[in-house]
Structure 1
Amino acid sequence: MNQELCNDAVSKSSNHVAGQPQPICPPTLSGAVSVISPKYCAPYPVDLSIIRKVLKLTHDNYTVSDVNGNPVFDIKDELTLVRHHRVLSDPAGVPIVTILEKVMTAHRRFNVFKGDSTDMKDLVFTAKQSHCIQWTTKLDVFLPNNTKEDVCDFKVKGNWLERSCTVYAGDGDKDSNNIIAQMHKKHKVNSVVLGKDTFNVTVQPNHDSAFVIAVIIVLDAVNDLRAMR
């Protein structure tokens, strides 16, 4: 899979093709990255809004829309006594990835799988806290072929109290210029009353919007006190 696929796969109408994600595509020579599928890469900056609605103490729902208000992704969040998982779907309800937290780990760790699978053969990426105890928000993201996990493939850094973060390709400390996406909270007067949070996300050209949203959902889960073990 190459740069041409990333450029041709997404139209400016932000209408995404429904279906299962394609195999992982590594970074191309031009710097474009497709982790979940090249159809979620666009040759221009993509602005998205994530709306989180707190439904009850056990789960939230999220919707993701483009600048015109058209639905792009949907996220279902379920917390049970057995496990805590989230499913990122397209507007038609077809699962894109399933986000599952691993239990009994020193660092909070999440595995992200293709579709509705939770089988390790369908692993898309793994994300974990950079440190067991941290005062700022940091996530290390590893692709399946990075088995040693000495250096992360992506880094997320930010301040979750302010609902802001930056996603980097590579180690965000050494590769601080390799920004692929940024998020900040959109403040609305009626947000608290309606039990909603709105986050604005900008994904840089030729980068995977579905991957960025999945990483942000993991970040939200890491900072969710209800899910702390």
Structure 2
Amino acid sequence: MAAKVHPNLAVPSLQPRMGMGVRAVAAGGGGGGGGEEVVLTVWRKSLLFNCRGFTVFDASGDLVYRVDSYAADSRAEVVLMDAAGVPVLTVRRKKAISHLGLGGDQWLVYPGEETRLPPLYAVKRTTQYVRGGGNGKTMAHVAPCGVRGGAGGGYEVEGSYLRRHCTVYDQQRRAVVAEVQPKEAVGTDVFRLVVRPGMEVSVAMAVVVALDQMFGKPSLLRSWSS
């Protein structure tokens, strides 16, 4: 199965947030870059020893994104890096203030590692969604923050992350901008992420990281998200 997951990857000698021996591939800003869809293969596994995380490849089998999380790391955040180990986005969990009745937990998406700056997006599980379900109800909302909030640009996620069947709609629900799809004959730890015009590829991957924290069984990255 390894050859199918990373056909162009040599034996890695990677260090967290440093690219060594792996060709960096442009992650792409807008969905599909120039109006074309982007198809990624997502592997729920880190290439580093004693790490958990994600390794993401493009259609040519080249490394695009990675998440490397040490088991002893208890911070409530996950850093999405490009192939060279440069931080692209950080997904941080913000726990609900239960005694004030202010809703449930949410996952904030920050640029790079700049968690002191205002977040770009807030991802929140809907209260009516049953864990593990797949009945078409909205499972998560992705709301833009700050300046982005004034221009719209939110997303709705439907489906079942456990089954690797998720559909991401734009805020008006007029178009499908991303999909999580199962990959044949390789189990649920390897799946496709298809990103279409209307959503940034890195943001789509950050949403996948947040969904894994919300619905993963067990969540792969950190104990704080279970």
Same fold (TM over 0.5): yes
1:47 is displaced (CA, Å) by 0.8
Give the letter aligned to residue 120 of structure 2.
V
Offset from partner CA, 1:93-126 (integer Å, 9 cap, x none):
110011111124542311111111211x241111
**How far apart, in 1, do the equivalents of 2:71 and 2:56 lie?**
20
Correspondence 1:107 to 2:104: yes
- The 5 A counterparts of 1:1-229 are 15-16=25-26, 37-38=29-30, 41-53=33-45, 60-77=52-69, 82-105=74-97, 106-119=103-116, 121-131=117-127, 134-135=130-131, 136=133, 138-145=139-146, 153-170=154-171, 175=173, 177-188=174-185, 197-205=189-197, 207-224=199-216, 225=218, 226-228=223-225
Task: Tell me the number of residue pairs that the alignment of Structure 1 and Structure 2 aligns.
Answer: 186
TM-score normalized with structure 1 length: 0.68
For residues 50-75 of structure 1, what are the alpha-carbon distances to aligned partners after superposition, in whole Å with 9 as ceiling and x for unaligned? 011279xx962211111110111112
1:28 corresponds to which residue? none
- SS of match in other structure, 2:156: strand
SS at match of 2:162: helix
Per the alignment, do residues 187 and 107 of structure 1 end up closer, same or farther by CA in structure 2, a change over 3 Å counting? farther
Asked whether the equivalents of residues 16 and 72 of structure 1 are also in contact (C-alpha less than 8 Å), the reply is yes
Structure 1 stretches of 5 or more lacking a match?
Answer: 1-13, 18-35
Residues 128-179 of structure 1 show CA distances to partners (whole Å, capped at 9, x for unaligned) of 1111763437111111138999x982111111231210111115xxx2x411
Work out whether residues 126 and 142 of structure 1, in 8 Å CA contact, stay in contact via their aligned partners in 2: yes
Whether contact under 8 Å (2:155, 2:169) holds in the other structure is yes
Q: Which one-letter code corresponds to 2:204 in the other structure?
A: V
CA RMSD of aligned residues (A): 3.4
Match of 1:30 in 2: none
Seen in structure 2, the aligned counterparts of structure 1 residues 78 and 107 have a Cα distance that, compared at 3 Å, is farther
Point out where structure 2 has 5 or more consecutive residues left out of the alignment: 1-23, 98-102
